[in-house]
Structure 1
Amino acid sequence: MSSLKLFHTTNGGVTEVAPCLAEAEADVQALIEAHMETMLGVRFLVSEYSTGPAHGGRIDSLGLDENGAPVIVEYKRGTDAGVINQGLFYLSWLMDHRAEFGHLVRDRFGATAAAQVLWSAPRLICVAGDFTRYDVHAVREHRRSIDLVRYRLFGSDLLGLETVASVSGGMPVARRARRQAVARAAADISGASMVELANAVDEVLLGLGDGVNRVERKQYRAYQRLRNFACVCPPQRSKLLVYLKVDPKRVALVPGFTRDVSGLGHHGTGDLEVQLRTPRDVERAQDLFRASYAAA
């Protein structure tokens, strides 16, 4: 059970808003599907998708995340020990039916999106009233990208979503090996100064908290919790560009360091561009990194 407490404040004091579960699983599904991009960072594709007579199932929701990775979302009203296994079953089906998924993406989002589906990082998001410690342990044993998200309704107009566990797919990579890979990539492009910057940024972003996943795309590297909170582009000759999910209107922009790119085309996601040229710039940017992480 979530320990989050919510209070309605008035001049006369505070009143606790008691959390509750939805009356039916379909209510949670309908609410999230209607606002999936805002809530989960996933573009909604289709609901109750049939896996055919051989598999005999229906995927609750299919979508595409900010990095182009295919996403399955499964919902449960309360606690259900089968939600993870059910989702993994559907994820396996999805990997065997890539062309079918590609047709869905093309019909909904166009040929370009269909050609850029990131099949190396398919995701499963389980949304439920609660999870057990066994669920949390189970997802860490699977080599898949799985997010466990707990929901709660507060009153008649508030919905809370809390990430209980977030695990990236693939074999764990030692931090030293990650640093070396980033250093090699940066050195190939822009020399020793970029090695320091790439190392520093990678360390800071991965170290912001548990459950930070790193997703590699050709044009950028995304750091995500449930949603992206930072996108780092390949180093240029003299600077590193980082895009954050921070509202530029709430930041005192500094020429040559931060820039409002809302409405401007760029690789990755985020409306605040941070330009890093020295290790000191990385230190200056850490509050912005933390703010973006907290908002993800």
Structure 2
Amino acid sequence: MSGLRLFNVATGGAVEIVAHTAVRERHLQELVETNMEALLGVRFLASEYSTGPRHGGRIDTLGIDENGSPVIVEYKRGRDAGVIPQGLFYLSWLADHRAEFQLLVRERLGATAAAQVLWSTPRLICVAESFTRYDVHAVREIQRNIDLVRYHYFGHELLALEPVVSVTSSARERRAVSRMEPAVTLLPGPRVADGPLDEIRSVLDDVLVSLGDDVTQVERKQYLAYRRLKNFACVGRAQQRQVVVYLKVDPGTVDLVPGFTRDVREIGHHGTGALEVRLRSEKDVERAGDLFRLSYEAA
């Protein structure tokens, strides 16, 4: 259990709200499934999904995240070392049943979503009351796309989700490349022969990755996403004279600057985020630092 302590100070005093586990594992599962997009950035597909007589199991929750990656969510009311091996077993099942999963996506979310499933980065999210240091070490060594998330109930009305570790299968390689070569190699699309833009991308990558140890990257054809549990920055395909980033920041809470920041809530764009930031120099990256942190903290 984490060291987080929560106090009610509404009356001027400080009354601690004691953390506790779910009364039933199913209650936790139902709560998360009902609010998956808000809590995990994942669209719900199915609950207690049968893997058939051959595999003889039931996946707690199936979903698809905002980048199109298939997601398996497994829950444990307390601490259970078996949750990670169980989830890995289901990831292997998923790899062998792509057509079945895409049919499910088509039925629930439509043909467009089914055509955009990103099979290079299927994810396992384990939600439990606590994890051991051995769990964390194992996840980092396994080299699969795994998120360990610790939950706490506080009283009857508050639920806290705390990312413990997030790992992507190619995170180490991608970050190593970013330190050795211009960051344009991380972005989709053809290379643009523009030294200043290369430098902007390199500085931007350093800034976004350094926001926290839980930052991972997911590459799509149209953008490169930086995420925790959810995306917090999507760097778009290279443009002629600028680098465009979309952030999970409410445009109504910031002073928009023409040519630098823009509200794109009603404007179609690739990636996720309602605030567009246009970077034309390294100074612009520094100028947007507070916006990057706000988006990271909200993810």
- Normalising to structure 1: TM-score of the pair? 0.97
Structure 1 residue ranges without an equivalent (≥5): none
Change (3 A) 1:14 1:246: same
Counterpart residue identity of residue 182, structure 1: A
2:135 paired residue number: 135
Counterpart residue identity of residue 160, structure 2: G
Q: How does 1:244-259 map to 2 (within 5 A)?
A: 244-259=247-262
Moved more, 36-45 or 3-12: 3-12
2:12 paired residue number: 12
1:28 paired residue number: 28
Displacement, 1:188?
A: 2.4
Residue 172 of structure 1 aligns to a residue in which SS? helix
1:223 paired residue number: 226
For the 8 Å contact 1:190–1:237, the answer to whether it is kept is no
Displacement, 1:178?
A: 2.2
Q: How does 1:9-158 map to 2 (within 5 A)?
A: 9-158=9-158
1:293 paired residue number: 296
Displacement, 1:169?
A: 1.4
For the 8 Å contact 2:19–2:154, the answer to whether it is kept is yes
- Kindly tell me the number of residue pairs found equivalent between the two proteins: 296
Change (3 A) 1:243 1:154: same
2:183 paired residue number: 182
Q: Could you tell me the percent identity over the aligned residues?
A: 62
Displacement, 1:142?
A: 0.7
Q: Over the residues paired in the alignment, what is the CA RMSD in angstroms? A: 1.4
Change (3 A) 1:218 1:83: same
Q: Distance in 2 between matches of 1:181 and 1:119?
A: 27
Displacement, 1:190?
A: 4.9
Q: Distance in 1 between matches of 2:64 and 2:219?
A: 16
Residue 156 of structure 1 aligns to a residue in which SS? coil
Match of 2:270 among 267, 271, 280: 267
Q: How does 1:176-215 map to 2 (within 5 A)?
A: 176-179=176-179, 180=181, 182-184=183-185, 188-215=191-218
Q: Distance in 1 between matches of 2:48 and 2:185?
A: 45
Displacement, 1:128?
A: 0.6
Change (3 A) 1:144 1:288: same
Change (3 A) 1:279 1:181: closer
Residue 46 of structure 2 aligns to a residue in which SS? strand
Residue 15 of structure 2 aligns to a residue in which SS? strand
Moved more, 247-256 or 76-85: 247-256
